Amino acid sequence: MAKIKPSKGSPYARILGVGGYRPTRVVPNEVILETIDSSDEWIRSRSGIETRHWANDEETVAAMSVEASGKAIADAGITAEQIGAVVVSTVSHFKQTPAVATEIADKLGTDKAAAFDISAGCAGFGYGLTLAKGMVVEGSAEYVLVIGVERLSDLTDLEDRATAFLFGDGAGAVVVGPAAEPGIGPTVWGSEGDKSDTIKQTVPWTDYRDGVVAKFPAITQEGQAVFRWAVFEMAKVAKEALDAAGITADELDVFIPHQANERIIDSMVKTLKLPESVTVARDVRTTGNTSAASIPLAMERLLATGEAKSGDTALVIGFGAGLVYAATVVTLP
C-alpha cells in the first residue's frame, strides 16, 4: 500500500499585509432621509453611523477588490505572482458563475492562483482568514489573499426605515503567509440556521425574474432580534476566542468587531470588560456596515491612523446573516 507524502507547509501563519478601498462618493445621513421618515439624530443614536460610501458604476466588486488587494500585497512586501490562492467573501457579486475571485486573481497578475468565492455574510472575512491559515500551514499555498468586498448599496431598500441607513460599500484585503510563531489563533465559528429569517434577502432572484414581485430584492432584518443575539451571544463567542488563544482581555491591544452598529460594539466592550487601554474599532461611523469588508477596512484604518500598530494583539469577530459567526485573535501586520 502506497503512502501519501505529507505536505510541507509552515508551522504557523499570520497576516502580513492589509489594504482597503472606500468608494469616492460619501453619503451623509441627509441623503438617506430623502426616502425614509427619520432624523439624523435618530440614525446616529441607533447605529452611530454618520456617513457611508456608495460605489459608482466603475467601482465594481472586482475593481474595488483589485485596489484593496494591491495595497495589501505591497504592504506584505511580496509580488502578486507569489499569491497561491485568492479567497473572496461577498454577497453582492451578481454573477452566479464564474467566481469573481478568478477575475481578481487574473487582474492582479497572479500565476494561476487558486481562486474561489465564499458566502458567509458579515462573518465571511473570518471564514476566509481561517481557510487561508489552513492552506499556509498545510502547504497548498505559501501566500493567500483574503478579500472581503461588498456593494450593499445594490441590495439596499431605500424605503425600508429599518435598514436604509445601515449599509455601505467597500473592499478590504489581507495577505496571509508563513510565520515563525503563531499569528492567527484558533477560530471559534459556527452557525444558527434556526435564526436565518432574522437577516435575509427579501425574496429569491427567481421571484423577481418571474414577475412574482416587481421590486428588486434587498436585504432585510429583524433589528431587535439581531441586536439581542449579537450583544449576548457574540460576546460569549468572543470570550471563547480569547480563551482558545490563551490570552485574557487585559492582554489585548485592539478589538475589531464587525462594524454593524456602534451600540452593539459598546455593549460587547462592556460585557467583555475590556480595559480602557484596548483600542476599539469604530469605523462604522463613517463607513457604515460593509458586511464582509468591515473588519479588514477597520483594521486598515486603525493602522493607517496610528491608533493600532504592527505587532499588536487584536481580537476580531464577525457575525451576521445565516446566522453565522467567526472570531479569532490575530497579530496585526
Could you give the count of Cα atoms lying within 13 Å of 213 in the half-sphere of its Cβ?
11
Distances (CA, A) of 150 to 54, 90, 167: 10, 6, 10
Closest CA to 54 of 164, 219, 161, 128: 164
- 333: number of Cβ within 10 Å: 23
Question: Rounded to an integer, what distance in angstroms lies between the CA atom of residue 72 and that of residue 65?
Answer: 10
53 is catalytic: no
29 is catalytic: no
Distances (CA, A) of 258 to 84, 116, 124, 144, 165: 27, 22, 10, 22, 17
Closest CA to 64 of 22, 109, 114: 22
Question: Rounded to an integer, what distance in angstroms lies between the CA atom of residue 62 and that of residue 44?
Answer: 31
Question: Rounded to an integer, what distance in angstroms lies between the CA atom of residue 280 and that of residue 186?
Answer: 21
Question: Rounded to an integer, what distance in angstroms lies between the CA atom of residue 251 and that of residue 147?
Answer: 28
**Catalytic choice (29, 53, 93, 122):** 122
- Which residues lie below 8 Å from residue 177, measured CB to CB, with a gap of 6+? 10, 13, 14, 16, 76, 78, 136, 142, 143, 144
Q: Which residue has the cell 450583544?
A: 231
What is the DSSP-derived secondary structure letter of residue 217? Answer: P
289 is catalytic: yes
Start-to-end CA span in the chain (Å): 44
**Catalytic choice (29, 53, 258, 261):** 258
Alpha helices, DSSP H, located in 143-211: 205-209
Do the Cβ atoms of 86 and 104 come closer than 8 Å? yes
User: Among all residues, which ones are annotated catalytic?
Assistant: 122, 258, 289
